[in-house]
A and B are shown apart, each in its own frame.
Chain A
Amino acid sequence: MTLGGRARIAVAFAAAALLVLAPFGLKPYGIYLLSLWAVTTIAAIGLNLTLGYAGQISLAQASFVGIGAYTAALLTTQGWPLWSAFLLATALCFVIGWVLGYPALRVQHHYLAFVTLSFATLVFLILRNEEWLTKGVYGISGIPRPTVLGWSTKNPIDFYFFCLAMLALVTAATWWLIRSPWGRAFTALRENPIRADSLGVDVRRYTLIAFAIGSALGGISGVLYAPLVQFIEPTAFALNLSLNLLLMVIVGGSGYFFGPFLGAAVSVLLPEWLRFSEGLYLILYAVFVMVLMAFCPSGLLGLAERFRKPAAARRPESAR
């Protein structure tokens, strides 16, 4: 940690500087992609808490993004400010995530994947069928971009900085959380739940908290997604997005702090990189994921670590 620590901070700063400067050299499409990356990364950070730190497979993260997006869309098209949506969506997703976490305590992790999958189906059906509230399959359009403290984010570049600021906020909060006693408890939980239990970690409570916080971050991501796209409809938050988010976290490196950042970048930019392959990019992506799982299930960051460190020095770290 000490050797890599300083270099890592330097890399982080350089990356942050690049993120701030990047949009000035880009056309609106590039800026939109960067914004989408920032928004997606927030949801992936949430899933990384649930999956990477607390070890629970969730296939419902897209549902929380959806709940956040619909909260934002419904409130802001009625003239409420976006921050009210942030408050409501975060609270809502936290509570629902908490409740959904209960089956996690009863069943083994593979069962949980299917419980959350079923929950995702239910959320999709409600978004589609309860037309009086969600406008059903027609979706909600005309979602305004927010004005933050008098600063209008109508321009793509302004909205990008707003998303980036939210990402920075979420990053800082998560960073703090993982280094707090809570975060260490999460990790202990993942590494060895039985041992954690015997060490006095309240497994029940921390599992639920991890699930709830992860879900709340999904909600925050959704609140940003709605004004980014300015149109939402139920299928955007169906199983596909959940699977995508799961792949992002794993590809980047689950349990690594910066894993979601990298995974989201791969996923958002991949169709762009693999343009030459036309329709085949999903096939290539699938093969890439399978090969990665076979040779380095700890993802791209795990791969990087393996190259940097001699094999002998490798050991499980508590805070990667």
Chain B
Amino acid sequence: MADLLQLLVAGLATGGIYALVAIGFVLLWQTSQTINFAQGEFVMLPAFFVLAAMKFGGLSFPLAMLVGLAVSAVVLGLLFKRLVVDPIIRHGVLPLVISTIALAIFFKEGVKEFYAADAQPFPAAWATTNLSLGGAVVSVQSLVIIAAAVAAVAALQYFLAGTRTGRRMQATAQNPALARVLGIPVERMILYTFLINAALVALASFLVSPIYLAKFTNGETLGLVAFVAAIVGGFNQVRGAIVGGLLLGVVDNFVAAYWSAQYRAAIPLFLLIAVILFRPQGLLGRAEERTV
């Protein structure tokens, strides 16, 4: 029983990270048809911005996190949109897919060449103590991750449905042409989604790096699993991403513990195939409807 609880909480924490990354994925796709194959690397990078700010800028950790967040917003939000997405998007989805694959290589190799090839310790922004919970040991870190993921989704839901800007963004996602006619600054709305994505990946990065350590290869599987989480949950629902993410994290841990550790990497595959075959709109998704 204690083991089950142990695995459940660990799975939820991992799943929370998947969810944060998946939401950004969904947002980008909704508003700008951008499939970001570098999404995993987007999570890897902000931790290195922080480390670099501390190492070369001599900043304190909280200050460095702010700098990391700001640099992420500029590089992974603004510059990503202006330099990579905008010039290519008119050519269609495929060139953009290729370009983000190249971007992933660029980030990975860049960090490896100019910062470090080996894993780096990353300070934690909160207490690293453990709590005992019905025989299982739960770290505060795990709870923070789960709470942060749920809070991020709730805040996003509120923002999209409850604020003027959010509703304008939804309108942009559903029908850009109509939104333009209605006088909504479509370009700015799209930029907002890129900035939100940058903030989400930075948040995910700061949450996982103390546990997972910062390394240039960290994004390799994360991006794929996050995308699968998005499909499983429902690609057109922010809510879906969190359900998909948490589900994947938990199933992964249970499979590794009770079935086969050697095949645990195949779990996303089986969930993906099952969803595509039996419920293509995802667990929470509605068929053929584009909503953020």
- Bound-complex Cα distance A119 to B228 (A): 13
A114 touches which of B87, B99, B272, B280 (Cβ 8 Å): B272
A290 within 8 Å of B (CB atoms): yes
Whose C-beta in chain B lies nearest to the C-beta of A128? Answer: B262
Interface centre among A57, A122, A282, A293 (most CB of B within 10 A): A293
- A57 to B92 CA separation, bound complex (whole angstroms): 13
How many residues on chain B are close to A (CB under 8 Å)?
A: 38
Cβ of B277 < 8 Å from any Cβ of A? yes
Most buried by B among A280, A285, A294: A294
Query: A179 on the interface (CB 8 Å rule)?
Result: no
Residues of B contacting A: mostly: helix
CB < 8 Å: which of A109, A128, A247, A290 contacts B84?
Answer: A290
Q: How far is the CB of A271 from chain B (nearest CB, A)?
A: 13
A283 engages B106 (CB within 8 Å): yes
Q: Which of B12-20, B192-200, B263-271 contacts A (4 or more CB under 8 A)?
A: B263-271
Q: Which residues of A contact B94 (CB under 8 A)?
A: 57, 109, 250, 254, 297
Answer whether A297 and B95 are a contact pair too, CB < 8 Å, given A114-B272, A279-B113, A286-B103.
Answer: yes
Q: How far is the CB of A284 from chain B (nearest CB, A)?
A: 9
Q: Which residues of A contact B96 (CB under 8 A)?
A: 293
Q: Is the CB of B98 within 8 A of A289?
A: yes
CB of A6 within 8 Å of the partner chain: no
- How many of chain A's residues have a CB under 8 angstroms from any CB in B? 36
Asked, given contacts A118-B272, A290-B103, whether A283 binds B110 with beta carbons under 8 Å apart, the answer is: yes
User: Contact: B102 with A118, CB < 8 Å?
Assistant: no
Contact A282 B109 (CB under 8 A): yes
**Do B106 and A287 have beta carbons less than 8 Å apart?**
yes
Q: Is A266 an interface residue (CB 8 A)?
A: no
Q: Does B177 contact A (CB under 8 A)?
A: no
Which of B92, B263, B273, B276 has most chain A Cβ within 10 Å? B276
Smallest beta-carbon distance A212→chain B, Å:
19
Top 6 closest A-B pairs, CB basis? A118-B269, A297-B95, A286-B106, A289-B102, A294-B87, A293-B99
A contact residues vs B (CB 8 Å cutoff) = 57, 103, 106-107, 109-111, 113-115, 117-119, 121-122, 125, 128-129, 243, 246-247, 250, 254, 279-280, 282-283, 285-287, 289-290, 293-295, 297
- B residues contacting A by CB (< 8 A) are 29, 35, 84, 87-88, 91-99, 101-103, 105-106, 109-110, 112-113, 224, 227-228, 231, 262-263, 265-266, 268-269, 272-273, 276-277, 280
Q: List 23 A-B contacts (CB under 8 A).
A: A57-B94, A57-B97, A103-B273, A103-B276, A107-B280, A110-B93, A114-B272, A125-B263, A125-B266, A129-B263, A246-B101, A247-B101, A247-B102, A279-B112, A283-B109, A285-B102, A286-B102, A286-B103, A286-B106, A289-B99, A293-B95, A297-B94, A297-B98
